């Protein structure tokens, strides 16, 4: 077990917010802020106070409601007026932090800043010095090398500059992959190189964007390479393809037995709310939180997932859904690729008893329908169950069965068709089941009864009285056992329906 706890520094309210089509106001930011605190993050970058009066107000307000243990940070360019604005906005925060930044990549210094490396270094050092002066003993300073991922050619210049920046008062050095051009492996080697050269008490932080979908990998591996502060966004919001997704990093580290302060059970509810509030919907296949992310459709996957339910390392699933607060009932989608296990699970869960043998029996009808329409809705699945198990079509058609007034013995009237010929007979025996079987045997349709039981089905949701279900095992023409069911309000009729369903199954 790795003992170093990651420091989760959330940038949803800054990097996430700045990329929204309609950035959040103070009230909206407060909702997200409360979620972040509930989630157990260690630091929150509440905004870019110099960007607009609305954002200044939000930073100021959130500082007043921040809990004692959470670092509250505000972003500032390496410009005095921005830095001063952050200091003003965070005055009330119990643990304030000024986060200032400038790019040190050759490309950016030449074409965007249009300054020499020495000039840029001086700006960085001066900015950090000023921020430290404003923070005094109460707060801390974070410095970011914007475009750090593009600094492989001038890494020694960057490292020398960072030494000066740390001397000037920066306690946290953040290394962003501002545009994801650098492979995780290269990026991690750069992180290691910086860490080796800076004083041991400097906190190394990473901040990755997800332009090529590798931000989680880079962030997680950076932690193992020595970065302690991990900058992430809820729902992977952020500029362009977003910032590193918070949930993915937390879960990856959890799967590696790394402890953190995060309460993972809050993740799903928060993800859904953030999607609503940001107007950025959760993609169907989004890891962990996507509607489809924990669904199983292929028979092999469904079987494996069900056999390993409740295990930490379950087959075909990254986590137990309840870990992140999702419904424990994983979604099993019935398609033409699905197998007997899913049919069995879905139908049983809907309150209709079925055995695995019956699931195998009705599987062709299910697959046939799914081939036509794709994933089957529950009603369609239950409709097939009714047709294939409770109202089996075949040469026999049951019409009527009722008790006759006879003082001397138990007698019943049975009316049915066989191959369009109607039979109306009286039959006798010990109870309706035996009487019906006796009558059929006399007409040349004998059945070998192996087992009989009655079930009371649950009341429906409107509280209507429960149906009875008769379950009969007959021996089929090959000597195998076949399960036959009948359902009716009357137990007598449920018995007779089970017999006729059995006759049709055997004589199909």
Relative to beta strand 411-418, strand 140-146 is unpaired
Q: CB of residue 180 vs ligand KIV: minimum separation in angstroms?
A: 10
Q: Are 36 and 258 in contact (CB under 8 A)?
A: no
Select 204 or 347, whichever has its Cβ closest to ligand KIV.
204
174-185: buried (b, 16+ CB within 10 Å) or exposed (e) per residue?
Answer: bbbbbebebebe
Q: Which residue stretch of 8-16, 135-143, 193-201, 460-468 sits at the interface with Zn ion (rule: CB under 5 A)?
A: 8-16
CA distance 253 to 260: 9
Is 55 in a helix, a strand, or coil?
helix
- Mark 288-317 with x for binding to ligand KIV (rule: CB under 6 A) and - for no binding: ------------------------------
Q: Does position 15 bind Zn ion by CB under 5 A?
A: yes
Q: Which helix (H) or strand (E) holds 73?
A: strand 71-77
- Which of Zn ion, ligand KIV, none sits in contact with 470, Cβ below 5 to 8 A by type? none
Of 7, 12, 13, 15, the residue at the interface with ligand KIV (CB under 6 A) is 15
- Which of ligand KIV, Zn ion, none sits in contact with 146, Cβ below 5 to 8 A by type? ligand KIV
Q: How many residues make contact with ligand KIV (CB under 6 A)? A: 9
CA distance 177 to 190: 11
Q: Does position 45 bind Zn ion by CB under 5 A?
A: no
- Which of ligand KIV, Zn ion, none sits in contact with 260, Cβ below 5 to 8 A by type? none
Select 99 or 493, whichever has its Cβ closest to Zn ion.
99
- Which of ligand KIV, Zn ion, none sits in contact with 45, Cβ below 5 to 8 A by type? none
Largest interatomic CA distance in the chain:
115
- Which of Zn ion, ligand KIV, none sits in contact with 144, Cβ below 5 to 8 A by type? ligand KIV
Q: How many residues make contact with Zn ion (CB under 5 A)? A: 1
Q: Does position 146 bind ligand KIV by CB under 6 A?
A: yes
Q: Are 46 and 80 in contact (CB under 8 A)?
A: no
Q: Does position 101 bind ligand KIV by CB under 6 A?
A: yes
CA distance 236 to 223: 18
Q: Looking only at residues 168 through 187 of this chain, which bind ligand KIV when binding is defined by CB under 6 A?
A: 174, 176, 178
Determine the distance from the C-alpha atom of residue 263 to the mean position of all C-alpha atoms in its chain, rounded to a whole number: 15
**Residue 489 burial by CB count (10 A; 0-12/13-18/19+): exposed, middle or buried?**
exposed
CA distance 327 to 254: 19
Q: CB of residue 239 vs Zn ion: minimum separation in angstroms?
A: 6
Select 207 or 361, whichever has its Cβ closest to ligand KIV.
207
Closest residue by Cα to residue 249 from 2, 10, 1: 10
Return residues touching ligand KIV (CB under 6 A).
Answer: 15, 101, 144, 146, 174, 176, 178, 207, 209
Q: Which residues bind Zn ion (CB under 5 A)?
A: 15
């Amino acid at each position: 077990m790795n003992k170093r706890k990651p420091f989760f520094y959330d940038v949803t309210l800054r990097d996430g917010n700045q990329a929204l089509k309609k950035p959040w106001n103070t009230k909206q930011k407060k909702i997200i802020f409360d979620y972040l605190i509930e989630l157990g993050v260690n630091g929150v970058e509440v905004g870019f106070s110099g960007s607009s009066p609305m954002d200044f107000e939000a930073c100021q307000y959130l500082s007043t409601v921040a809990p004692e243990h959470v670092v509250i940070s505000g972003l500032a360019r390496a410009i005095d007026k921005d830095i001063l604005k952050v200091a003003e906005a965070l005055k009330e925060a119990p643990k304030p932090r000024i986060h200032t930044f400038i790019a040190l990549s050759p490309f950016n210094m030449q074409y965007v800043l249009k300054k020499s490396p020495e000039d840029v270094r001086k700006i960085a050092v001066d900015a950090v010095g000023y921020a430290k002066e404003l923070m005094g003993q109460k707060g801390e300073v974070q410095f970011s090398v914007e475009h750090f991922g593009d600094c492989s050619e001038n890494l020694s210049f960057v490292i020398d500059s960072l030494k000066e920046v740390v001397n000037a008062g920066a306690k946290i050095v953040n290394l962003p992959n501002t545009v994801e051009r650098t492979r995780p492996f290269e990026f991690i080697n750069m992180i290691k190189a910086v860490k080796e050269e800076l004083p041991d008490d400097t906190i190394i932080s990473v901040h990755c964007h997800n332009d090529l979908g590798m931000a989680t990998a880079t962030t997680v591996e950076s932690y193992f390479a020595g970065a302690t502060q991990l900058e992430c966004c809820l729902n992977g919001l952020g500029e362009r393809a977003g910032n590193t997704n918070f949930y993915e990093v937390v879960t990856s580290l959890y799967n590696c037995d790394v402890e953190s302060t995060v309460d993972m059970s809050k993740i799903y509810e928060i993800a859904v709310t953030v999607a609503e509030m940001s107007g950025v919907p959760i993609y169907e296949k989004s890891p962990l939180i996507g509607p489809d992310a924990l669904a199983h459709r292929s028979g092999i996957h469904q079987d494996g997932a069900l056999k390993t339910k409740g295990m930490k390392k379950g087959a075909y699933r990254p986590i137990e859904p309840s870990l992140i607060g999702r419904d424990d009932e994983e979604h099993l989608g019935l398609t033409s690729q699905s197998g007997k296990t899913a049919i069995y699970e879905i139908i049983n869960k809907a309150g209709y008893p079925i055995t695995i043998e019956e699931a195998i029996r009705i599987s062709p009808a299910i697959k046939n329908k799914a081939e036509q329409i794709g994933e089957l809705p529950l009603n369609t699945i239950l409709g097939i169950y009714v047709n294939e198990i409770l109202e089996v079509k075949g040469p026999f058609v049951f019409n009527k069965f009722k008790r006759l007034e006879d003082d001397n013995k138990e007698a019943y009237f049975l009316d049915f068709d066989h191959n369009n010929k109607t039979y109306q007979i009286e039959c006798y025996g010990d109870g309706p089941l035996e009487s019906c079987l006796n009558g059929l045997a006399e007409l040349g349709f004998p059945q070998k009864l192996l087992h009989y039981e009655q079930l009371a089905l649950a009341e429906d949701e409107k509280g209507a009285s429960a149906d009875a279900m008769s379950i009969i095992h007959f021996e089929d023409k090959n000597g195998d056992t076949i399960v036959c069911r009948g359902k009716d309000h009357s137990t007598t009729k449920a018995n007779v329906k089970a017999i006729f369903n059995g006759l049709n199954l055997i004589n199909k």
